[in-house]
Amino acid sequence: MTGSSSPFAVRGVIEGFYGPPWTHEQRLDLLPFLAARGMNTFVYGPKDDPLVRSRWRQPYEGDDRQRIAALARVSASNALTFVYCISPGLSIEYSSDADVAAILAKLESVAALGVSHFGLLLDDIPLELQYPRDRAAYRDLVEAHASLVGRVAAGLGPRRRLMVCPTLYWGRGDEDGVARLGRAVDPAIDLVWTGRAICSLSLELEDAQRFEASTGHRPLYWDNYPVNDVAMTWELHIGPYRRREPLLHRASRGVVANAMSLYEASKIPIATIADYLADPETYEPETSWARAIRDVTGDDADAEAFALFADNVRSSCLSPEDAPLVTRALEAFGFALERGDAEHEATQLRALADRVLAAAAHLLRGSVANRALIDECRPWLEAFELGGGALRRIADLGLAGRIERDARRELLPFLAKLRDARVRVFGDALDMALADLTDVHLAPGRKLVIEGGGYA
């Protein structure tokens, strides 16, 4: 889809996560992928590129410089805006003319490569002024940032565009800090915002309108999905884009979605984000998701197997529902077991377990078109296969009438291995079912150790 009639001015992806940055080849692969789906922006700001953040004063040289030039060139050939970001907030002295000049020198060196859009990222930095001269020059961090933004914007000139990420980048949108910053800087400068939370369950028109009223800027959403860095690394965020209001475009500049370091896996949710941004009022998450899985896996059989796997790793800030199919099957089995008539539900659970195991075997050991996707998802796929084995064992015990006698001996090893895997698959459903059936009630994060048929 072209996305040319989209009501959002900005539609794109930001490489803004903590962890190993994407490779140059992956970025070059992403650009036509975005363009083909109607997106128009790629924002370069990986937290662990030292020349963006920790060594921001250092210029790009040699191969590093050529890579930035290639990204700008290929972005332009795909009608994408390339936004280069700098994150000086960990070490900058705001009152220092030399430091402001260093920012401008760095950005000018990138501009020489054909870049005209820049990001000044002031997120995830100390909340207080660190240098004595800054404390003497400014009332607080907000005043220092307003001054910095103004000087950088003036230095870039009117033909370059600037986006700014405030230090306070989430909330209701009318907090004192962001309101003061917004009112102090040019309305032509984009202010990025993540919504009510760092990783927001929903993005709503009312919040965007509040942000605009308080800051004088329509928010440019930096949506922290599908990113899974820091405390979220045990989750695989490949579910569809959802809970973004269809009329959000009426009070926002657009959305740049923060991706995962898992590049191929990120393509699936990115494709659904592109569908939402192209036509938010008719967007249907599940339909878009099925299409995205088919596109990224590249094969019908692979897509069928991967869709079953993906249905059991829905956990994210966007999806309170974890693993709906398995959850319902385990609930039905548990209820029937309590009534003393579990044969039918055990048979259904056995059939589902066989589907899970067949899908896992195909993806892990079969011939698949997108091997890089499988390699990225391997820890979750291995837990998916292990969970399929647990589901089959539960069903077999139920069919044989041996739950009460043999559950602890037969099922405790599955519970221990699944917890030791430290990835989230099947949500809480399988863990809770195994704990109930074996009468092991430990917090999910606590390690289970099998000792002579018991547990410790």
**Token duo for residue 225:** 């999905």
Choosing from 48, 64, 124, 428, the catalytic residue is 124
Domain boundaries, the chain: 10-294, 324-455
- CA–CA dist 432, 439 (Å, integer): 10
The list of the chain residues with pLDDT below 70 reads 1-4, 440-456
114 by Cβ neighbours in 10 Å (0-12 / 13-18 / 19+) ranks as middle
Residues 373-417 have pLDDT tens digits of 999 999 999 999 999 999 999 999 999 999 989 999 999 999 999
| pLDDT at residue number 440 | 61
Active site residue 49: no
CATH class of 10-294: alpha beta
| pLDDT at residue number 321 | 82
| pLDDT at residue number 4 | 60
Output the pTM of the full model.
0.94
